[in-house]
Amino acid sequence: MKPTSISPRSGQRTATSKAVMFLHGHQLERNLARAVTAEAAGTFVLVLAITSAAVAATLSRPVAGTPYGSLAVPVAGGLALAIAVASLGHISGPHLNPAVTLGLAASRRFPWAYVPAYAIAQFAGAIAAAAVTWGLYGNQARSIARLGATIPAAGVSAGRVLAAEAIVTFVLVLVVVAVTTDTRVPPGIAAMAIGAALAVAIVIAGPVSGAGVNPARAIGPMILAGQFTDWWAYLAAPVAGGVVAVALYDRFLRAGSTPA
């Protein structure tokens, strides 16, 4: 009996004896080492952009003219994610977020056997990005700006952090699944749509939870900064939001008819 895999854009199971396919059509078997490396590199770029912008804004470091403001972080994060998706999509997917990986695995859109390797690569890339941010901006980046690690806003409870992180990650992952696995969506818009979704998510949740939207992005800087406020919420909530988003699209929205 031939093994089955999920077609990258239709979602239908097809017989194959060569490879497990996913998202942009990349082959995981015989390509796992490259895919994992791409996950680490892509997450590094994503987290470095976010943490650098956050640290620069916190320390009021100008580029030319006035220092960065609050909008620098969503702009940097959205552009970095769009760049990573466009440049690495044909190699690893890419997920760049444990919430994406686990959400897809829970709905059988990604092999559970590859989840540990992807998650380790994502966290490694995030930790490396936090280390580079520390090196670029000096000790104040850690002592004052906490390397851009996410923390709840003043007076925000862990419950509100859970809600905010779950909601915005749901939004991001819903967009990821829609634009990368449904044949009705033009593949050329994937990078732009996913990057925009992250930017919107950061704008929504930033004033509440700091907008992790990604356990690797949230916890990676925490590890080097030594700040672990409500770390479990930044891990559990995005995963829950991602699982619900994939399940909703696969089990309900995907069957919707295209308007005439």
Q: Give the residue-averaged pLDDT of 45-53.
A: 97
pLDDT at 1 over 60: no
Q: Give the residue-averaged pLDDT of 40-63.
A: 94
pLDDT for residue 8 = 43
Of the two residues 67 and 154, the one the predictor is more confident about is 154
Q: Which residue's entry shows tokens 């998510």?
A: 201
- CB atoms under 10 Å from CB of 210, counted, come to 26
pLDDT for residue 27 = 58
Q: pLDDT tens digits, residue range 92-130?
A: 888 999 999 999 999 888 899 999 999 999 999 999 999
Listed residue (110, 97, 96) closest to 23, CA to CA = 110
pLDDT for residue 217 = 98
Residue 35 contacts by C-beta under 8 Å, 6 or more apart in sequence?
26, 28, 91, 92, 93, 114, 118
pLDDT at 245 over 90: yes
Q: Give the residue-averaged pLDDT of 59-75.
A: 86
Mean pLDDT of the chain: 88
Q: 67 forms bridges with which residues in the sheet?
A: 62
Phi and psi at residue 22, to the nearest 5°: -160, 150
pLDDT for residue 120 = 97
The two three-digit tokens of residue 120, written as one number: 């380790």
Flag the least confident range among 10-24, 86-100, 186-200: 10-24
Task: Report the b/e string of 116-125 with b at 16+ CB within 10 A.
Answer: ebbbebbbbb
Prediction pTM value: 0.88
In which band, very low, low, confident or very high, does the pLDDT at 187 lie, cut at 50, 70 and 90? confident
**Domains of the chain with bracketed CATH:** 22-254 (1.20.1080.10)
In which band, very low, low, confident or very high, does the pLDDT at 12 lie, cut at 50, 70 and 90? very low
> Exposure of 143 by Cβ count < 10 A (0-12 exposed, 13-18 middle, 19+ buried)?
exposed
Q: pLDDT tens digits, residue range 130-151?
A: 999 999 999 999 999 999 999 9
Cα 176 from Cα 236, distance rounded (Å): 19
pLDDT at 7 over 60: no
